[in-house]
Structure 1
Amino acid sequence: GKGSHSNDVGAIQADLPVPSDVLIYYYEVTVKDAGERGVIAVGFADVHFRLSRQPGWEPNSYGYHADDGNKFHNSGKGEEYGPPFVQGDTVGAGIHLENREIFFTKNGKKLGAAFQNVKATLFPTIGLHSQNEHVEINFGAKPFQFDIEGMIAEEREQRQLAVLRSRIPAHACHDIVCSYLKHYGYAETLLSFDQGAYTEQVAKDEETPQAFGLEDRKRVRNMLFEGDVEGVRQLLIGKQPQLAQLQEDPLAVGGSGSGHKGAPGEPFGDAFFHLSVQQFIELLRQDKIGEAVEHARSSLSTFQGRSHQHDQHLQDVLALLAYKSPGQSPVGQFMSTAQREKVADIINTAMLESSATASASGSGSGSGTSAGAGGG
């Protein structure tokens, strides 16, 4: 039809449903031609959805409509939500599976939660309702306008922080152990534990500030995505000066045979290896071949022999030097943004582990070197 009646809709639905094993699912639709009236709808619907209807009009369907910017669910009457979208705009639709929440984006900006308590198994669904409407759908074959990877990373970071901030009161731990000992009849052990462990644990059950706060870890991630490896190194050393020795001797903290087990910088032993490798990669990205070779000789060579895994990784990365266009080579993945993200995750994990260690052990315990807490 010409789009003048409600049954003139032509909808299309993805063959596969939104997977259940992801944190956030997302796709984008670019309006190539708004047609005569620009009544395009983007959203999700279940397997029973009628393809002659707009997503949002039917039960278990959700839509964001172009002509008025309203959101629709199980009704032909929408609710105010966001701005209309027209030819040239890119609209994204996402589901946060853990929160059971649907959200939309427009031209790379999140519009906020549209629907909550979403339970059904849903499929990406787009509806067209007037002549000459034309859209292009992107399920991730090319980069999205919205930074969905950044959103996922932030969500994961918040979950990590929540775990680190969760503290079990000393009396709860004590009660659990006592219950176990009573159940199995370890009377003498129970008596000894009850007299000593509880009071000692209570004294230790105090909050210790994190060495690295959320802002520190955000800065590190941003700097790595910009290729500023040296800036990351200086930030880490500024917070924990004892990490400077890793630049002189990679095995000095947390390495094999170091004799520093439990040292404050231990979580960074492996992290600084990957940071040094990334410095080499960034020099190649800037076509600074001479500096990259010198860095390999002066810095990367000190990591050789540390482990078979590190040696293999170094061999693969150094192979970039053999190609005129390393980004297009068989080992070109090291030149990608995904490689920067991988290193950012490694450094972030080390920062979290360092903060957790400082929180658990308290300031000044262990090796006799300050843990550098208090930066959080």
Structure 2
Amino acid sequence: MAHPGGGSEGPGDTGPEDRLKALYPMVNEDLTPLPRCWSSDDKYSFIGLSQSNLRVHYKGHGNTHKDAASVRATHPIPAACGLYYFEVTIVSKGRDGYMGIGLSAQGVSMNRLPGWDKHSYGYHGDDGHCFCSSGTGQPYGPTFTTGDVIGCGVNLIDRTCFYTVNGHNLGVAFTGLPPDLYPTVGLQTPGEVVDANFGQVPFVFDIEDMMKEARSRVHSTIMNYPIRDCKGQWEMTLHRMVITYLIHHGYVSTAEAFARGTNQPFEEELASIKNRQKIQRLVLAGRMGEAIEATQSLYPGLLDRNPDLLFMLKCRQFVEMVNGTDSEVRPARSPKSHGSSPLHSPGSFSPSNVRNPVIVSSKSSALPTVDELNENNEEHKQDGEESKEAVTNGYQNGCSAGVDEMDVDESGSSKHSMNLAHLEQILHFGQELKGLSVRLQREHGTSEINQQMMLDAFSLLAYSDPWNSPVGWQLDPVQREPVCAALNSAILDSLSLPSRPPLELALGQARQLVNLMAANGLGGCAFANLTDLMQ
């Protein structure tokens, strides 16, 4: 379907950023930015730019070929594009239509049309010839004039270039292209004006379909790559990788069934796997105090040998105490409340009920003492009967609801009414956590990661509604997962087992290889998407 502004309408007709990300998903623009406009610095003086540096017009004399002028894009084409494409609309062919559209390397003279010099490639409108690093062109396609849309595509896998005219592919124009080429346009006579589309709006040519074909070819090459399996060694290796993955994450029943089906042995006793599984469940349920106790009981000395891990667990325990899920403020087994009891609900005690609210210092990460909290509370009571009633009712409501009462939603998170006793427990724990931080700094030096972790956790008390605060992301149950993974890896390491399953290592190494392909200009990386291949 034709797009009102020219071009085929993409799925959902998304914005420029989404469109470019969909076209080139493997490009890391922090390392290799995409060309998005023409460079105001890398151009000849007879070139004028306007409309966000997407429109190019000629402002020279145009008497001879010595008056030719070109401009390059701001960045070279990243290899991770795999298949790169841009289009140029001829707004006006000017006096003679001596226009060239193509590619050039950094350093090629801009006082020339693209294609005339070494490492320069162009398709010219006045004669329809293509020029490959030479002043002599070869017949290629039709001439172009006002209103035509000329596309230039670069296949970074086989290093070829093709052109399109008004959405029709003219076929390969150049082969053996070098890496790091820039989109380039050149003009030579007065009145010539062109507009560029680097993907910010839909193209006239259906480049997405061409990309699907390229992706399919790469996938087929990978999946059909011949591998010599000497006496089933590859199959055995893959079976071992699968079973170690299952054992690592505690999928006991699945691991047992897979081991029986493939005749694979266990490298870890079932009792040990179940112990790790028990600890993982406690962590993922937010019952950090119990998880720490279980770890210390089942794996004595582990946390003493890993002080940073212990600090991470304690910080998470502080968060879960605010959350109401940790057993320090809620017994592990409690009846589920059927009533609504939101965190810091109206009438309940929260940090903001205190006259001088809890302020977390970014310098000291200090918490108020319980005495200071009680002193603030007394001052609050003296402000009048209305304030006194609010605090008293808050404490009574918190107690009447019971420490055990809570609502647990489908995500495993909880919201509870925090009374003064609960807050005192949290503050006591916070003081202990601060003391642990000081000891770790003294014995092992300052850790910025640990300091930020503690600061983030303490900051939850600065808000009457931590869930909807800027630091409320910590209360999301998904934040328990990296803590669970770190503890699980440490336990395995203590048992002289791999701290990371070989299957995950292999995938990580494959992803890194794809990144290395991109860094070394191998365009096939654009279509070697591991997630797609695994599916």
Normalising by the smaller structure, the TM-score range is 0.3 to 0.5
What TM-score, normalized to structure 2? 0.32
What TM-score, normalized to structure 1? 0.45
